[in-house]
Amino acid sequence: MRGMIDFFRIICHNKRSLIGLIILVIFILMATAGPFIFKLNMTVDYNNRYLSPSLEHWLGTDFAGRDTFIQLVHGSKEVLLVGLLAAFFTLFVGALLGTLSGLVGGRLDAGIMLITNLFLTIPSFPILIIMAAIFSIRDPISFALVLSAWSWPGLTRAVRSQIISLKERDFIVICKVMGMSKPHIIFKELMPSITSFLSISFIMTMRGAITGSVGIMMLGLAPYSPTNWGQMLNLAVSQTGGIFNPLGFIYLFSPILCLAFFQLGSIFFANGIDEALNPRLRG
């Protein structure tokens, strides 16, 4: 508990990370509570298209007379869910393989590194869109799996190098000499030292996954949800729902601004985490 309080004290102390935290909390609230408060209605209503913002429609309506703000709120749930799942899968695979590779070494290490390097040298975005086309994505879980299929190698390599450099440090060597068990060394000594690194990687992977998912959606390759920000951009740009008519600009710019703010929030917050969890940086 004390650790948590300390953590938030340090986050709040740093102006940047506080701003990041606030932005992220707003988005999380928007994604979790939002869809329950605002009911989505996607029926086409041509009499009310391109309305300006008003009390009834906070951000006006889109090219088919549907409320832009409510679409944005429901979209945030989709976007964040995909990002969260993808980051979770990536972290799991990356941390597991990276730790194994770093600790065991030898043949296993060489094998894992060969596969990792293969994945790293294949251009990831093209293969992502091809996989999206072949597996015809219909739900957040399969979307997240496709996205994480190409984001684990970077993390694996980074975790491996962290583990290798830690392995030779005095305190780990002493643990070994004292005859402590392997699981104890791994979970009680090694893991806490890379927690800050892993949490930052989690946020950054989520950030990358969200960019990737919005990009794929924008190309119209995963059209399972009409309110996802990427799908909104696709409708606005490719289907010309928002680029010709200045009245449609709110529909075009609201997902863009949300995406930008979310990314900025993640970067700022990640900066703060590094300071909060990495005692060496506090000084």
Partner 1 sequence: MTPVIVLKRIGMAFVTVCLATVMTFVLLRLTPGNAIDAWARDYATQFGITLEEAYRRIAAMINYNPNEPLHEQFVRYISGLLHGNLGVSMVYQQITVNSIIANAMPWTIFVATISLFISFVIGMLLGVRMAWKRNSVLEPSVSLFTVITSAIPDFIFAILLLVVFAYGLNWFPVNGAYDPFVTPGFNLDFIVSVLYYATMPILTFVITNIGGWALMMKGNAVSVLGEDYIIAAKARGISESVIMNRYVMKNAMLPMITMLAITFGSMLGGATLIENIFQYPGIGYFLGEATRTRDYTVMQGIMLFLSVTMIVANLIADLVYSKLDPRIKVEG
Residues that bind partner 1 (CB under 8 A): 114, 117-118, 121-127, 129-130, 132-134, 211, 214-215, 218-221, 233, 237, 243-244, 249, 252, 256, 259-260, 263-264, 266-267
Helix 229-237 vs helix 191-218: angle between axes, to the nearest 10 degrees?
Answer: 30
| Contact predicate 270/20, CB 8 Å | yes
Closest CB to partner 1 among 38 and 261? 261
Of 145, 266, 146, 265, which is closest to residue 203 (Cα–Cα)? 266
Smaller CB separation from partner 1, 60 or 242 = 242
For partner 1, the closer CB: 42 or 122: 122
Measured distance CA(112)–CA(94) in Å, rounded: 11
* Shortest Å, Cβ 141 to partner 1: 19
From the CB of 29, what's the least distance to partner 1, in Å? 21
**Which CB, 219 or 247, lies closer to partner 1?**
219
CB 184, min distance to partner 1, A: 33
- CA distances 61 to 169, 211, 240, Å, are 60, 25, 15
Shortest Cβ 219–partner 1 spacing (Å): 6
Minimum distance, C-beta of residue 200 to partner 1, in the bound complex (Å): 15
**Rounded to 5 degrees, what are φ and ψ at 45?**
-140, 90
CB of 281 to partner 1, least distance (A): 17
By CB atoms closer than 10 A (0-12, 13-18, 19+), residue 109 is: middle
Give the residue with the Cβ less far from partner 1, 174 or 237.
237
- 3 state DSSP class of 236: helix
Which SS3 state, helix, strand or coil, does residue 33 take?
coil
Task: Take residue 70 and report the two structure tokens written for it.
Answer: 């409510």
Residue 260: CB atoms within 10 A of its CB come to 11
Rounded to 10 deg, the angle between the 68-104 and 229-237 helix axes is: 120
| CB closer to partner 1, 193 vs 254 | 254
